[in-house]
Structure 1
Amino acid sequence: MLSTRMINLIVPIISVVLGLLAGAIIMLIFGYNPIAGYIALWNGAFGNVYFFGETIRQITPYILTGLAVAFAFRSGLFNIGAEGQVIVGWLASVWVGASIQAPTIIHLPLTIIAAALAGALWGFLPGLLKAKRGVHEVIITIMMNYIALHVANYLIRNVLTDKSDSTAPIENTASLASEWLMEITGYSRMHYGILIALFAAVIMWFLLEKTTIGYELRAVGYNQHASNYAGMNVGKNIILAMMISGGFAGLAGAMEGLGTFGYMSANSSFTNLGFDGIAVALLGGNTALGSVIAAFLFGILKIGALNMPTSAGVPSELVEIDIALIIYFVASSYIIRWTLLRFFKKEEK
């Protein structure tokens, strides 16, 4: 009989395989060669050092937004507001990075802390409303996404600049980019943020699994009434969970502001990093390690897809279909679980 831990490991793998197979069938239906398409995707992610660097660069914010959503899930909350928290974290990091002059050892940590605090602050209000008034966090976090987008645009155009659509570039002392990394990766935009993202995953694991605070957060996520009966402050834990979740998402924004771009532009649409983080968390089983692995998969798919139209003549939009199918199979994981359990019961007989 398969253990629960083994099933939790196998189900996402089967979901990915089924998603890729379904994507291959769709390619065949529309007259494309799926083998050539997937080879082009792989080469687009790892074909040379430049593509490898770009893939790691894309994975970095995905890890952090995946952690943000996963942390909220583990605490019994559904944080749809990671997108807005990414935006305010990006803005805060660039603001501090461009307006302060200080040595790197001071300046860079300040910008990263500012991003995390901005994201945490953006998670505080939904947490407070959920804890004190019972307002569903999905509704308020969706609304906060739009507020973040338009407030950020206003601040860029009217406070940080004089009617310009992009901020001034950050100081070199606040940058996560590195000439050394650029040179060894063919001048890709890979930066040291990947180390911060991996360290954040360790922090999430340690916090949830090895601390009293993490135990309370998980307990509240499992059953708020039982946690309250046991003497835990449910409201405080809800607010804390949303703030920590927002802090992770804010760090994802810092990765873009301090690493990939070095500035922030006024945007008419979302970055989609926060929304993709929901898929990363779901595929990763809402765990720290799972989110890292899922972020690698999504980064590979996103960057590799850019090579598919030129190398195989396959529209890159088909990768979006693959991602959607993978999420569909993850969401239908109970069917996969049921099938696995039925199969192994028959094997035992």
Structure 2
Amino acid sequence: MIGGSAAISVLAVVLALFVGGVLIAVTNEGVQSAAGYFFSRPSDMFQAIWDAVFGAYRALFQGSVYDFRRDTFAAGIRPLTETLTFATPLIAAGLGVALAFRVGLFNIGGRGQMLIAAACAGWVGFSLELPYGVHLFVAVLAGVLGGAVWGGIVGLLKARTGAHEVIVTIMLNFVALYLVSFLLRTPVLQAPGSNNPKTPPMADTAVFPPLFGSGYNVHAGLLFVIAATIYVWYLLGRSSMGFQFRAVGENPNAARVAGINVKNVYVTAMLISGGLVGLAGVSQVLGTITTGFGSGIDAGIGFDAITVALLGRSKPWGVFFAGILFGAFKAGGFSMQAAEGIPVDIVLVVQSLIVLFIAAPPLVRTIFRLPTPGQPAAARSKKKAVTT
């Protein structure tokens, strides 16, 4: 258990926070000042390091989980709701990337899929007049279908022509960006009478309702993301289609010999992956930015989703909690900068270090002296072979 993938993910976060603490201490002015007279009063420097690191991570906690400075519990818990708001699109996009990973595909087209989904959901959201409930359902469906079609193009090209999905998704990111940017300057998406490349606000009937009242930003899009997580968990672990996905991801040649249509699996997987990433774009348009959006609606979520999927080990519930963690980083990073003057870039460094440590499990095992899974059995087999 302590040498498994879950432990590696947790310890990678711990190591990243430790290195982030070192960077916070090195760049802190109080620590630098105390270092000038370290040999006369070394305790001052250690105290300055503690104050800088503890203060930064305390502000991170208070900005993402609970603020003890508030008078009431309802006010103190508001940072957690902000974390969930940031985490909602990250989880959805992370699920899409993780599902593609399980099939052996590298979906880095999250930006394009989110933009197309946002354009489709946004157009339905501000241009159609439908009853409450129906309008929201149609807008969500349009966005998910838009993302699915954009992802399905990748799967189709991969299956029929052998085109590499990394190249195709990168190119489609730019196609989607310039296509949406063009539409934002035409009557299709641009707000009437406006010179800015921005859509009109979404209709009230097409907006995700708040989960806990108007005092909190977290919206019903979180419920859709939870449902998507359950769906992906069932799909990959409990369905025949999920078995085919995993078989192709492990060895496409062996899966083909076993009678699995690998080409169809690629197309189906990218359709579902694009739809999940599209759900992230929908949550942005109908839940977070409802006053109209521009071409920057993706906010880098498409690329952050890759990190979330890696931290979650491409497992649905792992991605879910990894998305909450990164949502906490986003919510708490601004609080850390405002309260302690720590650059928000430190949070980006911590996120990057998490990816670095996850990509190097032997390094994490060496630092914490963890056993390598399967090593004792392998050692015994080798010894037995030598004896024979």
Structure-2-length-normalised TM-score: 0.83
- In the TM superposition, 1:69-80 aligns within 5 A as 69-80=97-108
Aligned residue identity for 1:121? V
Unaligned runs of 5+ in 2: 32-51, 68-75, 377-388
| Alpha-carbon distance between aligned partners in 1 of 2:324 and 2:127, rounded to the nearest angstrom | 34
CA drift at 1:155: 1.1
1:96 aligns with 2:120: no
Between the aligned partners of 2:220 and 2:309, the Cα distance in structure 1 is 23
* 1:170 is aligned to 2:198: no
Corresponding residue SS for 1:340? coil
1:10 aligns to what? 7
Letter in 2 for 1:281: A
Are 1:274 and 2:274 an aligned pair?
no
- Consecutive unaligned residues of structure 1, counting only runs of 5 or more, are none
Partner in structure 2 of residue 340 of structure 1: 370
Aligned CA distance change for structure 1 residues 264 and 139 (closer, same or farther; 3 Å)? farther
Indicate conservation of the 8 Å contact 2:56/2:340, yes or no.
yes
Say yes or no: does 1:265 pair with 2:297.
no
- Inter-partner Cα distance in structure 2 for 1:79 and 1:310: 35
Q: Which has the larger radius of gyration?
A: 2
1:343 to partner: Cα distance: 11
| Of 98, 101, 110, the match for 1:82 | 110
Residue-pair matches, total: 341
- Give TM-score, length-normalised by structure 1: 0.92
- Please show how residues 66-145 of structure 1 align to structure 2 within 5 Å: 66-145=94-173
Q: Secondary structure at the match of 2:198?
A: coil
| Structure 1 position 36 matched with structure 2 position 36 | no
The residue number in structure 1 matching 2:212 is 181
In structure 2, the partner of 1:149 is 177
State whether residues 40 and 304 of structure 1, in contact with CA within 8 Å, keep that contact through their aligned partners in structure 2. Answer: yes
Alignment of 1:196-345 (within 5 A): 196-267=224-295, 271-337=299-365, 339-341=369-371
User: Percent same amino acid at aligned positions?
Assistant: 36
The offset of 1:166, in angstroms, is: 1.3
2:284–2:297 CA contact under 8 A, matched in 1: no
**Structure 1 residue 270: deviation in Å?**
5.2
Cα 1:332–1:264 change in 2 (3 A) is: farther
Partners of 1:182 and 1:210 in 2: CA distance: 36
Q: In terms of mean alpha carbon deviation, does 337-346 or 228-237 score higher?
A: 337-346
Asked if 1:160 corresponds to 2:189, the answer is yes
Aligned twin of 1:19: 16
- Residue type at the aligned position of 1:225: N
Paired with 2:373 and 2:181, the residues of 1 have a C-alpha distance of: 54
**Superposed CA RMSD:** 2.2
Q: Structure 2 vs 1, CA of residues 50 and 140 (structure 1 numbering), >3 Å: closer, same or farther?
A: same
Q: Which amino acid aligns with 1:165?
A: P
CA contact (8 A) 1:169 1:262 kept: yes
Partner of 2:380: none
Aligned partner of 2:47 in structure 1 is: none
Greater alpha carbon shift after TM alignment, 149-158 vs 232-241: 149-158
Residues 91 and 264 in structure 1, CA contact (< 8 A), matched pair in contact too: no
Amino acid at match of 1:181: F
The structure that is helix-richer by fraction is 1
Cα distance in 2, alignment partners of residues 255 and 343 from structure 1: 39
